[in-house]
């Protein structure tokens, strides 16, 4: 048995009956990363509550500590004392981001334009993921990159004496690329301009404005955005920053409630930012009973409690332009589609090829292992469902160290005729440490599977 196999933690889910109850999902992962990054860069103190304390986010916090920020946990609150814009310190050791692709890519933008060298490393999964689309605009700003394998970790970056502001048109729908360029612009003289033809999640723009950055956003008739950031301005800590619940985490419980017969679940404090609600829109089109109740603002973001009941789903065609608003949710949407009447077609999925795994291939393989009819294309997936779950399940899914693959197929097992196993559940802690406990609280059954 290899070391990897010996250390793995196989997990199995099985059908036990209706799910019921009220739960609160952890803080949004994207916003939690940015809370450490922006709070660590700002002058003064930022108090953060609701932070996702998963391994990915904590890796970002450790990196900011290495560059001078003071970050401490006091009860349920994280206290972040920042260094001030332009005052990051050269890290003495390597910056180890583990599995945190968001943290690594955003930090490359943040530190890339500083006149020092920073070395980025990660785990086996992160080391396979391409960084070139973030590094390309940084190179235009004068950043030098040294990598053992082309634009993959481990790599070192060194900024110029004075970075050059750029006007950059993002060639793909990527909030990470957009954010990396804007973060680089914070320590660059003049105006950094970013053109985003297809709008993506806008947490970076909202939060930068909340921390005092001089940033303007123009939206054209087609929905595209032009963002202008004035560099080398002051950022100020936020006295009370509240992180809303992560919609990508809520997605697993939403789908579980929809597909397990008799279920009636309330998921509290879910982020309802319009750039993040593509899955909810799609599931409603499929016939899902999802009601957003008690809408309110939290940390400058729209949130609500989601009341979800078991529903008879039907297949739909998901338009490719919706992909940016639900890119992380396609694996669990494929699970929902497995229990829908007819075919569900998902398009515009090329981004899934460069996630923690080749997520599109991993989803297709998991469907095949559990008897779900499907077709996979280069950037699309068609799933043929069975509403009663008959003939579904019985397989073991290779997760490829991808937390969303693991959680998605564990959701499948809660409604399928036969149990579903995943080969390793350890990486779930990177984004949703309480996943197993919350599923159990709602009445779902998860237990150890044979290696």
**Could you read off the pLDDT of 110-125 as tens digits, one per residue?**
999 999 999 999 999 8
CA distance 370 to 397: 8
Q: Please report which confidence band the pLDDT of residue 5 belongs to, taking 50, 70 and 90 as the band edges.
A: very low
CA distance 307 to 289: 8
Q: Pick from 413, 420, 451: which is nearest to 255 by CA?
A: 413
Q: In what order do the strands lie in the sheet with 264-271?
A: 20-24, 264-271, 301-309, 289-298
- Percent of the chain past pLDDT 90, that is, above it, reads 87
pTM for the structure as a whole: 0.81
Identified catalytic residue from 96, 123, 246, 328: 328
Q: Please report which confidence band the pLDDT of residue 202 belongs to, taking 50, 70 and 90 as the band edges.
A: very high
pLDDT score of 398 more than 60: yes
Chain segment 33-55, per-residue pLDDT in tens: 999 999 999 999 999 999 999 89
Chain segment 248-305, per-residue pLDDT in tens: 999 999 999 999 999 999 999 999 999 899 999 999 999 999 999 999 987 678 999 9
Query: For residue 4, what pLDDT is reported?
Result: 45
Chain segment 206-220, per-residue pLDDT in tens: 999 999 999 999 999
Query: For residue 11, what pLDDT is reported?
Result: 98
Mean pLDDT over 317-336 rounds to 94
Provide the token pair at 121. Answer: 């490393």
Q: Please report which confidence band the pLDDT of residue 1 belongs to, taking 50, 70 and 90 as the band edges.
A: very low
Under DSSP, the state recorded for 88 is P
Under DSSP, the state recorded for 116 is S
pLDDT score of 2 more than 90: no
Chain segment 166-178, per-residue pLDDT in tens: 999 999 889 999 9
What long-range pairs does 295-300 form, CB within 8 A, spacing at least 24? 298/50, 298/242, 298/244, 298/269, 299/31, 299/50, 299/241, 299/242, 299/243, 299/244, 300/206, 300/207, 300/210
Query: For residue 254, what pLDDT is reported?
Result: 98
Query: For residue 18, what pLDDT is reported?
Result: 98
Query: For residue 299, what pLDDT is reported?
Result: 65
Catalytic site includes residue 220: no
CA distance 374 to 382: 5
């Amino acid at each position: 048995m290899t070391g990897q196999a010996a250390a793995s933690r196989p997990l199995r889910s099985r059908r036990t009956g209706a799910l019921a109850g009220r739960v609160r999902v952890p803080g949004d992962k994207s916003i939690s990363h940015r809370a450490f990054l922006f709070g660590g860069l700002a002058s003064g103190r930022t108090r953060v509550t609701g932070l996702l304390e998963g391994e990915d986010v904590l890796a970002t916090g450790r990196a900011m500590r290495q560059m001078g920020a003071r970050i401490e946990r006091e009860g349920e609150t994280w206290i972040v004392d920042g260094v001030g814009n332009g005052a990051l310190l050269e890290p003495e050791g390597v910056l180890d981001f583990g599995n945190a692709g968001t943290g690594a890519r955003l930090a490359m933008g943040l530190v890339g334009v500083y006149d020092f060298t920073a070395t980025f490393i990660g785990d086996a999964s992160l080391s396979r993921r391409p960084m070139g689309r973030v590094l390309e605009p940084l190179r235009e700003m004068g950043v030098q990159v040294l990598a053992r394998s082309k634009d993959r970790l481990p790599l070192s970056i060194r900024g110029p004496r004075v970075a050059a502001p750029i006007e950059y048109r993002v060639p793909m729908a990527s909030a990470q690329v957009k954010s990396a360029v804007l973060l680089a612009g914070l320590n660059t003289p003049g105006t950094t301009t970013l053109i985003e033809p297809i709008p993506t999640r806008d947490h970076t723009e909202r939060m930068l404005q909340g921390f005092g950055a001089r940033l303007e956003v123009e939206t054209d008739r087609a929905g595209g955005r032009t963002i202008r950031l004035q560099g080398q301005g002051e950022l100020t800590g936020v006295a009370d920053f509240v992180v809303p619940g992560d919609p990508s985490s809520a997605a697993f419980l939403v789908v579980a409630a929809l597909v397990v017969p008799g279920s009636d679940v309330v998921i509290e404090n879910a982020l309802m930012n319009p750039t993040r609600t593509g899955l909810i829109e799609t599931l409603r089109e499929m016939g899902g009973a999802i009601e957003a109740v008690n809408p309110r603002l939290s940390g400058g973001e729209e949130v609500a409690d989601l009341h979800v009941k078991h529903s008879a789903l039907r297949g739909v065609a998901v338009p490719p332009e919706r992909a940016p608003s639900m890119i992380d949710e396609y694996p669990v949407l494929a699970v929902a589609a497995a229990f829908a009447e007819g075919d569900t077609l998902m398009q515009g999925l090329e981004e899934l090829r460069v996630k923690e795994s080749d997520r599109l291939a991993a989803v297709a393989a998991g469907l095949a292992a559990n008897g779900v009819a499907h077709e996979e294309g280069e950037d699309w997936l068609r799933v043929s469902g069975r509403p009663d779950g008959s003939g579904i399940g019985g397989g073991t899914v290779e997760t490829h160290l991808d937390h969303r693959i693991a959680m998605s197929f564990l959701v499948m097992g809660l409604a399928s005729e036969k149990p579903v196993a995943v080969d390793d559940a350890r990486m779930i802690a990177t984004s949703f440490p309480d996943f197993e406990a919350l599923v159990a609280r709602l009445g779902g059954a998860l237990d150890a599977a044979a290696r």
